[in-house]
Structure 1
Amino acid sequence: MKKLLYIGNNLSHGNPTTIIQLSLALKTENVEVLVYSNKKNIFFRLLDMCWGIIKNYNASYILIDTYSTANFYYTFITSQIARLLHIKYIPILHGGNLPNRLKNSTLLSKMIFKNSYINVSPSKYLYHEFSKSGYDTIYIPNAISMRLYPFTLRSVFTPKLLWVRAFDEIYNPKMAVEVLFELKKKYKNAALCMVGPDKDGSLQEVIDLAKTKSVADSIEYTGLLSKQEWIKKSKNYSFFINTTNFDNMPVSIIEAMALGLPVISTNVGGMPYLIEDGVTGKLVAKNNVLQMVNTIESIIENSSLGIEITKNAKQQVTHFDEAIVKKMWLNLLK
C-alpha cells in the first residue's frame, strides 16, 4: 500500500473540499492518505503540516495544495522539508494569481516548482502559464460526482440570478448588485441570490450598495450552504453569474454547468480555458456591468441560445466526473 500525505487547508466548513474529495477517492484504491491540517490557527496549522511530513518521512508522495496568497509560503516551507527528507512532492496549483507569483517571487517559485516530482494543474490556464515558464506540469482537473447534479433543461429563462462565492473583494460581489440594478430597469421581477460566507467584510458593502440602489428587497443572502442545499436552491434560478476579478477554475462553475444553468462570467484568468464563449457559456469583460446585463437579456429574449449553451456545457463537464479524474491520479502515482 502506498502512503500519501496531502498538505492543505482541511477546514471543510460543512462542504467536502477538494482535499477531502481527492483523499476519499484515492483511499478506495488501496492508498493510505494522511491529511494535514485541520488546525484553525494558521501558525499551528503550519506546525501540524511540518510535523506531519517529518513523522511520515517514509511517505511515497506528498500532495501540496498551492495558492498565490499567504498560503504560498505554506507550500514553500513544506516543499523544502520534503526536499530535505527526499520525499517526492507534487504541488497542486489552485491560485488564479499564481502566474504573478511566478514573476514576483522568482527564487522561491524555482525552489518549489523546479524541484517537484511534477506540478499538477486542475486548470488548463495554469497548465499553460506554468509550462510557458519552464515548469514540468500536467493537467488533471478538479472532480465532481456527476450523479449528484441533476441536469435541468430550461425552456424559458427568467431574470433570476444565482451567485455562489465567498464575499471577498477579489470576487467583486458588488458587480452582482449592479447587474441586478440594471436588469430591474427592464424586468421588475429580476432577483438575485448570493450564496457564500463573508471573508473580508465585503458582505456589508454589498448590503449597503443594495440599499443605495433600492434593490435590497430583491436579494437573498443565504450565507454558507451545504452542497445539497444550494443545488436544491438552484432550481429556482435561470442564470449563474461569476463576477470575479481573478480566477482559476472554480468548481462552482463546473457544478452550475452540470445543473443546466447558463454561466455568464467575467473573462479573467482561467475562465476562457473553462468556458468557450458562446458555446458552453458567455464571457464578458472584467467589471463590465452593462455587457453582462446585455448578455443575460439576449438569452432571456432568445431561449434557443440558452438551451444550446446549457446542452454543450453539460457535455463538456462529463469529463470532470470523479471516476475519470481518479484514473488520471492513479496513473500518475502508480
Structure 2
Amino acid sequence: MKYILYIGNKLEKHGASPTGVDTLPAHLMQEGYQVKAVSSFQNKFLRLADMLINIIRHSRSTELILIDTYSTSNFWYAVLCGYTSKFLNLPFIFILHGGNLEERFLNSDERILDLFRSARKNIVPSEFLKNRLHKFKFNNLVSIPNAIDLHLYPYKERKNVKPRILWVRAFDEVYRPELAIQVLEVLIRDNLDAELCMVGPEKNTDLQSLKILVREKDLPVRFCGKLSKTEWVDLSEEYDIFLNTTSIDNTPVSVIEAMALGMPVVSTNVGGIPYLIEDKTTGLLVERDEPEVMAAAIKLLVEQPELSHLISENSRAKAESFAWDKVKVLWRELLV
C-alpha cells in the first residue's frame, strides 16, 4: 500500500496546535508512502466540503483513507467522511483521539457505531482508550501511540529544582488553565519564589480575563501564546517542572514531550494519564481541581531532589518508547 489520503483538521498554519494530520504524513512519507493531507480551511463548512470533495476526487488513486476522529463537534466530520468512503468502497481507518470519545459513542446511534465497526481498523493511542471502547463491540481496535521525534527534545537532568513551572496546552476550558494560576497563588502564599509560564493558543477560554486576573493579583505569570516546537523546547530550559491541569485527557503529546526533556510532570489523574505516568516514578498525580494538592506535589519536588532526579530520569526513559523509530514499526505492520 502506497497511496493514502489523510483527513483531519490541518489548522496549524492558522495558529492551532499541531495535530496528527500536521505531523504524521511527513513521517509516513519518509517511509515511502505517498500521503495527501486535508483540510486546512478555517471555515468549518468549507473544511468539511474540502474533505468530502477530496475523498471523491481521489477515489480511484487512493488505497486507504485515514480519518482523524475527535469527541468534539468535529466528530461529525469523521462520520460523514467514513460514510462517504464506505459508499465508494474505499478502505478507511479511524484514528481516535480525545479522552471524551466514550461519552460521544454512548450518545451515538447504533448506525454510527456500526460505521466504526465496519472500518478496517480503529486506531487508539493508548490502552486506556482501547479498554474504554471495548464495550461498543469494536473488534477492530489497535493501539498505536502518539509519536515524537526524540532528537528534537534534548534531555536535561532535573534534580535541585525550583518552582519554575511550565504549562503547555491550548487555552481551552477542558485543560483548566485557571487551575495553573490557582496553583501558583498557593505556592506564593506559602512563601515559595514561584513563577509560571503558559504556552498555547487561545481556543475556548477567555484568555483576556486570565491576563486581567494575573495583573490584578500581580502574579508572576508569563503568557507566550502559541510557539513552535523548537521555540517552546528552547524555552523549557528556563523551567524545571511541567504542570498538566486538564479535566479530560487521553495521551497528550505535550506531556510526552515534557517527559522527554526530563521535566518532572505534575498532572491531574484523569483519563489516560495514569497509563502514561506512574505516580512518584515517572511523575506526580493528583486529583482534578485540587490546587492545594497540586501545589503540595510541586513543593515535594522542590524539597526532595532525589525524587525529582528519579522522576526526571524515568520520564526520559518512558518517553523513548514514543520515539518515531519505534512507533513506525506498528504503522508498517498496519499498512502492509
TM-score (norm 1): 0.96
Q: Which of 147, 158, 164 is the matching residue for 2:162?
A: 158
The question of whether the paired residues in 2 share the 8 Å contact of 1:11 and 1:40 is answered with yes
Q: Secondary structure at the match of 1:138?
A: strand
SS at match of 1:114: helix
Whichever residue aligns with residue 256 of structure 2, its letter is I
Per-residue Cα deviation, 1:130-150 (whole angstroms, up to 9, x for no partner): 224321211101110111100
CA distance in 1, matches of 2:206, 2:242: 20
Which piece of structure 1 moves more, 226-235 or 28-37?
28-37
Q: How far apart are the structure 1 equivalents of 2:97 and 2:191?
A: 38
Q: Which amino acid aligns with 1:293?
A: A
In structure 2, the residue matched to 1:2 is 2
Q: 2:88 is aligned with what amino acid?
A: L
CA 1:161/1:21 → structure 2, altered by over 3 Å: closer, same or farther? same
* Paired residues of 1:159 and 1:187 also in contact (CA < 8 A): no
Alignment of 1:97-246 (within 5 A): 97-135=100-138, 136-212=140-216, 214-216=217-219, 218-246=220-248
Q: Is the 8 A contact 1:178 1:289 kept in 2?
A: yes
1:304 aligns with 2:306: yes
SS of match in other structure, 2:297: helix
Give secondary structure in 2 for the equivalent of 1:162.
Answer: strand
Q: Which moved more, 1:7-16 or 1:253-262?
A: 7-16
1:54 corresponds to 2:56:
yes
Give 1:16 deviation, angstroms: 5.2
1:189-246 deviations in Å (ceiling 9; x for gaps) = 210000011112431232233245x243x00000001111110111111110011111
Q: Distance in 1 between matches of 2:85 and 2:259?
A: 38
Cα RMSD of the aligned pairs, angstroms, is 1.4
Q: Which amino acid aligns with 1:53?
A: I
Aligned-pair CA distance for 1:174: 0.5
Q: Distance in 2 between matches of 1:88 and 1:270?
A: 29
Letter in 2 for 1:192: L
Q: Which deviates more, 122-131 or 66-75?
A: 122-131
Number of residue-to-residue matches in the alignment: 332
Give the counterpart letter for 2:153 in structure 1: Y
- Letter paired with 1:181: E
Contact 1:121 1:137 in 2 (8 A): yes
Partner of 1:36: 38
Q: How far apart, in 1, do the equivalents of 2:161 and 2:191 lie? A: 12
For the residues of structure 1 that align with 2:255 and 2:206, how far apart are their CA atoms?
21
Contact 2:113 2:136 in 1 (8 A): no
Deviation at 1:108, TM superposition (A): 5.0
Q: Counterpart in 2 of 1:69?
A: 72
Tell me how far 1:188 sits from its aligned partner. Answer: 4.4
Distance of 1:321 and 1:269 partners within structure 2:
22
Q: Which moved more, 1:281-290 or 1:129-138?
A: 129-138
Contact 2:11 2:18 in 1 (8 A): no
* Mean Cα deviation higher: 99-108 or 79-88: 99-108
Residue of structure 2 in register with 1:19 after alignment: 21
The 8 Å contact of residues 241 and 263 in structure 1, kept in 2 or not, is answered as yes
| 1:323 match: secondary structure | helix
Quote how far apart the aligned CAs of 1:64 are: 0.5
Instruction: Please report how far the alpha carbon of residue 248 of structure 1 lies from its aligned counterpart in structure 2 after TM superposition.
Output: 1.1
1:82 to 74, 82, 85: 85
- What's the offset of the Cα at 1:29? 2.3
1:299 Cα deviation (Å)? 1.0
Work out whether residues 101 and 109 of structure 1, in 8 Å CA contact, stay in contact via their aligned partners in 2.
no
Change in Cα spacing, 1:17 to 1:61, as seen in structure 2 (3 Å) is same
* 3-state SS of paired residue (1:150): coil
Alpha-carbon distance between aligned partners in 2 of 1:204 and 1:275, rounded to the nearest angstrom: 32
